[in-house]
Amino acid sequence: MRGLWLEYGWRLRRKDEGILEKMLMDKTLGSLWAKSPKNGGSEWHPLILHMLDVAASVEAVLSREPESTRTKTAACLGMEWEDSRPWVLVVTACHDLGKACPGFQSKWQEAPKTALRMPRAPNIGINHAFVTAHTA
């Protein structure tokens, strides 16, 4: 895991490794899915890892951008880049938070069982982007 993160430019610090391990050991977080298998496959991608992958990818892209891009991004938040970087990555990581809603989690019939309590008839017609927008 650590090697993959470093490959994409994510800078794990020693204290972050413990937090990551704890998140992945949490059965609730680990059982929420973001990407289901394609073509009848069996591999799926947990939501927490998808969120972290996206943040790592954004950081890798921004690190390759001209400094002016980072400066302008930070200025939108009224900060210097080093202060705004964690905010940008957190907000980016949360782009699919709505996938944690019962309606989305119920769309894939073969999804792993989650420890979250589900309603009797979750609304699977709700768009996860709508839920994400309303959690902000």
Q: Which of 34, 32, 10 is nearest to 20 (CA)?
A: 10
pTM comes to: 0.72
Q: Could you give the CA distance from residue 85 to residue 69 in angstroms, rounded to a whole number?
A: 12
Q: Could you give the CA distance from residue 116 to residue 72 in angstroms, rounded to a whole number?
A: 40
What pLDDT, in 10s, does the model give residues 3-48?
Answer: 344 333 344 444 445 555 565 556 677 788 888 888 777 778 888 8
Q: Per-domain residue ranges for the chain? A: 1-6+46-108
In terms of pLDDT, which residue wins out, 66 or 41? 66
pLDDT for the residue numbered 8: 38
Asked whether 46 and 32 are in contact (CB, 8 A), the reply is yes
What pLDDT, in 10s, does the model give residues 110-134?
Answer: 877 776 777 888 888 888 888 888 8
